[in-house]
Structure formats: C-alpha cells, structure tokens
Amino acid sequence: MTKWQCMLCDFIYDEAKGLPEDGILPGHMWQDLPDDWTCPDCGADKASFEQVNAGQ
C-alpha cells in the first residue's frame, strides 16, 4: 500500500485507508481510482499527485 500526495494542497491519499466517506474502501489502489477522480480538498486531478516515499 502506498500514499499519494496532492502537490497543490498536500492532501494525502492513503491506499490502506481509502476514503470511506466518499465510498472508496480501504485497500483501494491508486491506479484503480477513476481517471476523472479529483482531490477531495482542492479539486486537483490525479496528474497533480505524486507518490510519497515510504519514510514520509
């Protein structure tokens, strides 16, 4: 499981936690999110996210 950070607002999408409040169950992989998924905090598209290194 990895984490992905929005480069615009610093929101973290954690695959292990998902976003249950948005219907995305824990364990939902980044690549399985819809292509039109956007950051729940700022609305940025998936291209605005970068994978977070394991130590962060």
Binding annotation for Fe cation: 6, 9, 39, 42
Q: How far is CA 31 from CA 1, 40, in A?
A: 12, 17
Task: Determine contact, residues 24/33, Cβ cutoff 8 Å.
Answer: yes
Q: Binding site membership: which residues?
A: 6, 9, 39, 42
Task: Determine contact, residues 24/37, Cβ cutoff 8 Å.
Answer: no
